[in-house]
Structure 1
Amino acid sequence: MGNKQGELETCVCLQGYDLIGITETWWDSSCDWSVGMEGYRLFRKDRQGRRGGGITLYVNDQLECMELHLGMDEEPTESLWVRIKGRAGAGDIIAGVCYRPPDQGDRADEALYRQIGAASRSQALVLMGDFNHPDICWRDNAAERKQSRKFLECVDDNFLLQVIEEPRGEVPCWTLFSPIRKAW
């Protein structure tokens, strides 16, 4: 993200997003002074013990929110979960951003799927991230690799619907899911 922060801030200023999820930030404590953005509350989880990775969620500071700690007793995953208080008469929204490294093992995958399951029990879920399953054919709901098929099972088991079908701009791979049972 280092050299893209200005571009991000310009895009946000023009579009006025309420939520911004970013994967593979590559941030560490040396970035603390430069990653905040006016008008947004920053939630972040830097990768520990090795280079790369890291996830961030910016939430419009007009929204009341708090970080959730789903699956903290399990295998560590690169996921971040926030509950956003719904407006009068509306339920709360859970927002999650996840990064699944291409070499992630089955135990970490299962821990991530349990977190997604817990988050999807809310009235509304916005799940975004890079899940690194390039062999998935969303049109046919099929995949070649076992790990990708397991991910599709998680999506189906939690009644999630892919909303974004193609990356926009320079984003190499990202997905946004929302529960089928909740119409926006």
Structure 2
Amino acid sequence: MTGYVMFRKDRLGRRGGGVILYIKESIQAYEIKLEKEAECEEAVWCNIVTGNSTLTVGLVYRSPNISIEENEKIHNAIEEVSKRVCIIMGDFNHGHIQWISLQSTGREVQEFLNLVQDSFLSQHVLEATRGEHVLDIVLTSQKEFVDNVKICEPLGCSDHNQIHFIIKVKGEGNRKIRYRKKFTKEDIRT
């Protein structure tokens, strides 16, 4: 896409699939790698420079028939990234979580819900994104980062609804610059 930098991680061993994240060229961003035990098959992570700080953004796809090992890596990744200022989004295929009441069914789903709560992450998508389920979610380390979440019609032939939202972080334009004159002996005359 013209005007955007692409970050992607293709699905290995099969045709198609993977994740892709586009960030406007005008935003300073670079891909990062997580610790080995948190390196997921279908996840991409990058840092966005926002003024004097950095925002870690992650895009994750969690297959409904995921292996125990890969599921553990996703949990490790969320645990690692949640210690930073972050936004984690994607299709997690946990449709049995009632995000408003924070209830779930099943051990695996409850473990994920516990992880989100123990990591002090806020989940912003409260309406169904596929059928009657909330499969696609947006997690943030600070609740005020995300605003104006809207669930829209699917794009193209997708069976998932689009999620539109505003990320509210201070950018380069909000940075204060101070100028000081450097005084030397030559500047002081008597």
**TM-score, normalised to structure 2's length?**
0.68
Identical residues among aligned pairs (%)? 31
Q: Which residue of 1 aligns with 2:80?
A: 118
Deviations 1:55-104 (A, max 9, x none): 010011111111111134567431110011111x4x21000000000011
- Tell whether the 8 Å contact from 1:71 to 1:111 is kept in structure 2 after alignment: no
Residue by residue over 1:98-128, the C-alpha shift from the partner in whole angstroms, topping out at 9 and shown as x without a partner, is 0000011222111111111111111x21111
Partner of 2:105: 144
The CA RMSD measured in Å over matched residues stands at 2.3
Match of 2:20 among 50, 56, 65: 56
Q: Distance in 2 between matches of 1:74 and 1:97?
A: 13
Residue identity in the other structure for 1:162: Q
Rg: which structure is higher?
A: 2
What SS does the corresponding residue of 1:110 show, helix, strand or coil?
helix
Counterparts of 2:39 and 2:71, CA distance in 1? 9
Question: 2:122 touches 2:143 (CA, 8 Å); kept in 1?
Answer: no
* Structure-1 separation of matches of 2:129 and 2:22: 19
1:31 matched to which residue of 2? Answer: none
Runs of 4+ in 1 over 6 A off after TM superposition: none
Quick one: distance in 2 between partners of 1:51 and 1:167?
A: 28
For 2:122, the equivalent position in structure 1 comes to 161
CA distance in 1, matches of 2:58, 2:38: 17
Change (3 A) 1:161 1:55: same
Mean Cα displacement is larger for which, 147-156 or 45-54?
45-54
Structure 1: gaps spanning 5 or more residues: 1-36
- Aligned residues of 1:41 and 1:58 also touching (Cα < 8 A): yes
**Counterparts of 2:115 and 2:92, CA distance in 1:** 12
Q: Structure 1 residues 43, 167: closer, same or farther in 2, change over 3 A?
A: farther
Which residue in the other structure is 2:180 paired with? none
Mapped to 1, the partners of 2:74 and 2:2 lie a distance apart of 31
Cα distance in 2 for partners of 1:146, 1:51 equals 31
| Separation in structure 2 between the aligned mates of residue 147 and residue 130 of structure 1, nearest angstrom | 16
